[in-house]
Amino acid sequence: IAYILNHSGATLLVGDTALLAQLEPILDQLTTVTEIVSIDAGAGAAGIETIPDRSFLERGSDEPLAWRVNSEFQPISINYTSGTTGRPKGVLYSHRGAYLNALGEIIHSQHSPDSVYLWTLPMFHCNGWCTTWALPAIGGTSVCLRAVEPGEIWRLIREHGVTHLNAAPTVLIGMANHADAAPINGSLVITTAGAPPSPTLIAQLENLGARIVHMYGLTETYGPHTVCEWQPEWSDLPPGERSRNMSRQGVPFIGVDPIRVVDESMQDVIRNGEHMGEVVMRGNNVMLGYYDDPEATERAFAGGYFHSGDVGVWHQDGYIELRDRSKDIIISGGENISTIEVEQALASHESVLEAAIVAVPHEKWGERPKAFVVLKDGTEATERELIEHVRSRLAHYKAPDTVEILDQLPKTSTGKIQKYVLREKEWSGYESRIN
């Protein structure tokens, strides 16, 4: 938080009163913030001087806001990445990109003035996939949710006649398997992204009466960049095959250039659903660049396309499908986990000689970290002890669920740990390495 505030040069911080306590340990690190505005009338965090939101608004003027911009390519926001491979990067969104992506959301998720949208997706994540702009543009209604709890989601759907919601698959798994899950009266469009939804999950939600719209993208693409558009001929397919097609990442959003899957020389891979390559993209809803980081921007756009770091295949019908990660990042419930960060936390334990973290399949979260550890001679450590050690140093969701003690880790002749060997056993029997 301190890095993001300082790097962006933010002078005003607006925060929910219930969350402001997180600022206490870093207040003396903030170099640019001059005012903190608290929202909600709850008890404030001790030791933090804030301005109540009502008092702040009273300082405003009734004069019309000069809302026009000189160029539609001016930045409208900076959205930070999760920082899994280092410091978070500030992703610059333009007015043009945000506008066109919001229109794409309206079209692909089929919003209308009658839309009643439930905020199961955080507004801070890619500006809520630009729905923060799309919904007001079409004149829809927002229903806000303070915490993601499946029972509360079902209550609000029924009480308010919710017609749309966006959520990562892990949220949908909780919904589909909750005691309150029951067939939906009326229309409910569920747009999902953040991790590939399993065909089983899609079938579960369809059986409850929901229409699933599967999208794919990154922070650098304003959230969604592709959509798995429904094809009429899929109606005649068996349920399992239909759900498998719907779990693909799909085709480009309206308003962007065609997405590509390329080899190392930037040549398109064969469209046979087998040859793998990196997913690259460009177009109106690809970022302007990384704020104050020209070197990272240049690397990201090598060859004139933004490099996603995701590996996929191209099907004959033009639909792409992710198969693996080009990096070792673990995506758990839509949140990124750096294996290096977890390995370093494990390595700080006095009994650990070496550690390797890999993603393993998980029914609810899609992927979870598993630790493979070699202990120092003459030492001991239990699985629970090592997990708690990591939890004491990192966010709890980053800690491995399981730890396997090995005599040695598989390595190359140059001493590099062969993580793919560890993964191979864990993913045996799965069609792809993204669950």
User: CATH number, domain at 387?
Assistant: 3.30.300.30
Minimum mean pLDDT among 35-44, 252-261, 276-285: which range? 35-44
* pLDDT of res. 414: 39
Q: Classify 347 as helix, strand or coil.
A: helix
How many Å apart are CA 245 and CA 239, to the nearest integer?
10
Residue 413 pLDDT > 80: no
Q: What is the dihedral of CA 318, 321, 324, 325, to 10 degrees?
A: 70
pLDDT digits (tens, 9 = 90+) for 129-188: 999 999 999 999 999 988 889 999 999 999 999 999 999 887 888 898 899 999 998 899
402 alpha-carbon distance from chain centroid:
23
pLDDT digits (tens, 9 = 90+) for 319-355: 998 875 666 778 899 887 877 778 878 988 989 888 8
How many Å apart are CA 368 and CA 402, to the nearest integer?
9
Tell me which DSSP letter residue 163 carries: -
Q: Is residue 271 part of a domain?
A: yes
pLDDT digits (tens, 9 = 90+) for 299-312: 999 999 999 988 88
**118/262 same-domain check:** yes
**13/132 same-domain check:** no
pLDDT category, 435, cuts 50, 70, 90? low
Q: Is residue 409 part of a domain?
A: yes
* pLDDT of res. 88: 85
- Decide which of 304, 324, 344 is a domain's last residue: 324
User: Which tokens go with 173?
Assistant: 């798994």
User: CATH number, domain at 281?
Assistant: 3.40.50.12780
Q: Is residue 65 part of a domain?
A: no
Minimum mean pLDDT among 35-49, 69-83, 216-230: which range? 35-49
163 in Cβ contact with 186 (< 8 Å)? yes
In the chain, the N- to C-terminal Cα span, in Å, equals 30
* pLDDT of res. 354: 84
Quick one: average pLDDT of 240-260?
Answer: 89
Q: Is residue 351 part of a domain?
A: yes
393 alpha-carbon distance from chain centroid:
23
Quick one: average pLDDT of 59-72?
Answer: 91
Q: Is residue 68 part of a domain?
A: no
**134/264 same-domain check:** yes
pLDDT digits (tens, 9 = 90+) for 209-226: 999 999 999 999 999 999
Question: What's the whole-number average pLDDT of the chain?
Answer: 89
Quick one: average pLDDT of 384-402?
Answer: 95
Are β-strands 335-337 and 320-325 bridged in parallel, bridged antiparallel, or unpaired? Answer: unpaired
* pLDDT of res. 201: 83
Report the b/e string of 103-117 with b at 16+ CB within 10 A: bbbbebbebeeebbb
* pLDDT of res. 182: 94
**DSSP per residue, 48-82:** ---EEHHHHHHT---SPP----S-TTSEEEEEE--
Quick one: average pLDDT of 376-400?
Answer: 94
**15/86 same-domain check:** no
Residue 105 pLDDT > 70: yes
Residue 411 pLDDT > 70: yes
* pLDDT of res. 197: 78
**290/365 same-domain check:** no
**123/259 same-domain check:** yes
Q: In what order do the strands lie in the sheet with 366-375?
A: 352-362, 366-375, 402-405
**106/43 same-domain check:** no
| Residues above pLDDT 70, as percent of the chain | 94
> How many structural domains comprise the chain?
3
How many Å apart are CA 281 and CA 257, to the nearest integer?
7
Domain of residue 238: give its range. Answer: 75-324
CA-derived radius of gyration, the chain: 23
**307/348 same-domain check:** no
* pLDDT of res. 152: 97
Quick one: average pLDDT of 183-197?
Answer: 88
Tell me which DSSP letter residue 37 carries: E
Q: Is residue 434 part of a domain?
A: no
How many Å apart are CA 351 and CA 382, to the nearest integer?
10
**302/375 same-domain check:** no
User: Which tokens go with 11?
Assistant: 């002078």
- Decide which of 324, 353, 376 is a domain's last residue: 324
Quick one: average pLDDT of 234-240?
Answer: 88
**136/269 same-domain check:** yes
Residue 238 pLDDT > 70: yes
Q: Is residue 235 part of a domain?
A: yes
Task: State the SS3 of 247-288.
Answer: CCCEEECCCECCCEEECCCCCECCCCCCCEEEEEECECCCCC
Q: Is residue 383 part of a domain?
A: yes
* pLDDT of res. 45: 60
Burial of 125 (0-12, 13-18, 19+ CB in 10 A): middle
**162/88 same-domain check:** yes
**213/356 same-domain check:** no
Q: Classify 148 as helix, strand or coil.
A: coil
- Decide which of 299, 324, 349 is a domain's last residue: 324
* pLDDT of res. 270: 97
User: Which tokens go with 127?
Assistant: 């500006």
Which residue did the predictor score with more confidence, 426 or 293? 293
Minimum mean pLDDT among 41-45, 58-62, 197-201, 204-208: which range? 41-45
